[in-house]
């Protein structure tokens, strides 16, 4: 479920458009920031107030002006935001069109979705938010095949840890307590579901059992 959203966007018209789209999805707890530094400050304050954001929607590129910023753009904001809130879900909304750049966002920054600013982008935003709310990674229909073929999947230590637990018979809903007890981060159920869904989508698996069998066959676990 997505209850509270932060929009990081330096163009007011785009920010208002995203806000209206979210309101049509009955999401009304919405904040926005015109600068990346401001967005990170809001994320920190929300955590301190025990009212953290469920989703960050950010552009990649922010125009420079007289206000000097420590964070240079959306990618830097995502990295910094995930450092203070590892389970924060991230949707990138940008004019970027290069598949290598977009693929790197999924592979290296582990974003939850990407929507390109273009015709009918509000409808795609709705689909992306609904997908992310269901703890699935959203791939734009026009980009998914290209991204998947250009970017091989590298299993992280976190991936291996949760898949190994599944192989040992742990139920998915019991894994967060195991990780938390051993101070393994992230440990939230939504983070675990997101990672497993991402891997299954990458290999076109429909179940955790298929994923575990694959990892055993190829010596990943």
Residues of the chain with pLDDT under 50: 149-151
The number of beta carbons lying within 10 Å of the beta carbon of residue 120 is: 7
Looking at residue 217, its pLDDT comes to 67
Residue 188 tokens, joined: 């939230």
Q: In what order do the strands lie in the sheet with 29-33?
A: 29-33, 4-8, 55-58, 89-94, 113-116
Long-range pairs for 209-214: beta carbons < 8 A, 24 or more residues apart: 211/163, 211/166, 212/163, 212/166, 212/167
Looking at residue 40, its pLDDT comes to 97
Our measurement of the distance from residue 212's CA atom to the centroid of its chain's CA atoms, rounded to an integer in Å, reads 23
Looking at residue 83, its pLDDT comes to 94
The number of beta carbons lying within 10 Å of the beta carbon of residue 14 is: 18
Looking at residue 72, its pLDDT comes to 83
Looking at residue 218, its pLDDT comes to 63
DSSP state of 172: G
Q: Which 3 state secondary structure label does DSSP give 61? A: coil
Q: Tens digits of per-residue pLDDT, 26-72?
A: 998 999 999 999 999 999 999 999 999 999 999 999 887 777 888 98
Q: Which 3 state secondary structure label does DSSP give 36? A: helix
Looking at residue 98, its pLDDT comes to 79
CA angle (117, 118, 120) in 5-degree steps: 115
- Main-chain phi, psi angles of 116, to 5 degrees: -85, 135
**What is d(CA 68, CA 97) in angstroms, rounded to the nearest whole number?**
27
Looking at residue 100, its pLDDT comes to 74
Core vs surface per residue 50-72: b (16+ CB within 10 A) or e: eebbbbbbbbbebeeeeeebebe
Looking at residue 2, its pLDDT comes to 93
């Amino acid at each position: 479920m997505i209850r509270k959203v932060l929009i990081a966007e330096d163009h007011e018209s785009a920010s208002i458009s995203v806000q209206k789209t979210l309101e049509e999805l009955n999401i009304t707890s919405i904040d926005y920031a015109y600068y990346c530094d401001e967005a990170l400050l809001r994320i920190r304050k929300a955590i301190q107030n025990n009212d953290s954001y469920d989703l960050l929607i950010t552009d990649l590129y922010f125009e420079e002006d007289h206000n000097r910023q420590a964070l240079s753009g959306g990618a830097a904001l995502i990295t910094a935001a995930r450092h203070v809130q590892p389970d924060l879900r991230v949707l990138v909304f940008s004019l970027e069109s290069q598949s290598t750049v977009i693929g790197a966002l999924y592979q290296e920054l582990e974003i939850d979705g990407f929507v390109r600013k273009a015709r009918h982008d509000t409808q795609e935003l709705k689909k992306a938010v609904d997908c992310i709310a269901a703890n699935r990674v959203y791939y734009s229909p026009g980009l998914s095949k290209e991204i998947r073929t250009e970017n091989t999947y590298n299993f992280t230590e976190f991936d291996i840890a949760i898949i190994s637990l599944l192989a040992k018979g742990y139920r998915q809903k019991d894994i967060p307590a195991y990780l938390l007890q051993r101070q393994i981060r992230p440990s939230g159920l939504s983070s675990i579901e997101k990672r497993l869904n991402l891997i299954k989508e990458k290999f076109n698996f429909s179940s955790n059992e298929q994923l575990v069998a694959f990892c055993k066959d190829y010596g990943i676990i």
